[in-house]
Amino acid sequence: MNNLSISLIQTDLHWEQKEENLKLFTQLFTQVPQESQVIVLPEMFSTGFSMQAQKLAEPMDGPTVSWMKTQAALTRKIITGSLIIEAEGKYYNRLIWMQPNGIAHYYDKKHLFGFAGEQEAYTAGEKRVIVQVNGWKINLQVCYDLRFPVWARQNPKTSAEDDTPSYDILLYVANWPERRIEAWDTLLRARAIENQSFVIGVNRIGKDGNDIYHNGSSALIDPWGKVLWNDTDKEAIFTYTFKEENLNEARARLPFLRDRDSFVLL
């Protein structure tokens, strides 16, 4: 594993105004350090957390994914964030992982937020997606997924000789409101501790079109559960360089992942 630099962008979003949001992020990308290799955007970064799927959805070759492809090539960085995608007559809250070479991986949000009627507008994903960069394995998840620890759990060891965890970084993009931010803060730390992984949580700020306020509280948590960075109520860009020795130390000193339960998540 080589060192990996990731930049997190916390900002307000223009409600259901794609062009304005893409202009915003294009400008913010100029503030990301050159050495950064991945840029993380919030959930539904081009629209806000809208249930207007039919109105706002795009195909995978639509303008927002095309913008991601162009920006990834121009910045020579991976760009990731979720947006509203239509595929085969269904709508998804889809987290795109766009590489500079134009190849995209994606994860469809598994747990849809019933409290807001998300399951009525969108189709749930069916599988976890773990991507790799610089030897680091990154588990891609979206917002409400955070409340379901089984979905984030490290898979068990495959044999007595192989105890390799299934991922090293757990990444959440979100539109998580301030009124429930204590749960966000607490669960990000819990996921890091129980999985002995780094955890990234990127949330938005500002009021959305439903007059719901978001204070951000985007964070980076280390495998011990220590908060390495957290920021609230303002636009912020934070870059961190992940180092293999920091991860290995936590897993070697307290190797409790060896004792984890036997089940496999697909």
* Tens-place pLDDT, residues 204-225: 999 999 999 999 999 999 999 9
Q: What pLDDT score was predicted for residue 86?
A: 98
- Kindly list the structural domains of the chain, giving each domain's residue range(s) and its CATH number in brackets, ordered by start: 4-259 (3.60.110.10)
Contact by Cβ (8 Å): 168, 176: no
> Counting runs of H as helices and runs of E as strands, what totals does the chain give?
7, 13
Long-range contacts at 98-102 (CB < 8 A, ≥ 24 apart): 98/65, 98/68, 98/69, 98/72, 99/72, 100/72, 100/73, 100/75, 100/76, 101/73, 102/69, 102/72, 102/73
Q: What is the mean pLDDT of residues 246-254?
A: 93
* Tens-place pLDDT, residues 73-113: 999 999 999 999 999 999 999 999 999 999 999 999 999 99
For the cut 80, the answer to whether the pLDDT of residue 265 exceeds it is no
Mean pLDDT, the chain, rounded, equals 95
For the cut 60, the answer to whether the pLDDT of residue 161 exceeds it is no
Active site residues: 43, 109, 143
* Tens-place pLDDT, residues 6-29: 999 999 999 999 999 999 999 999
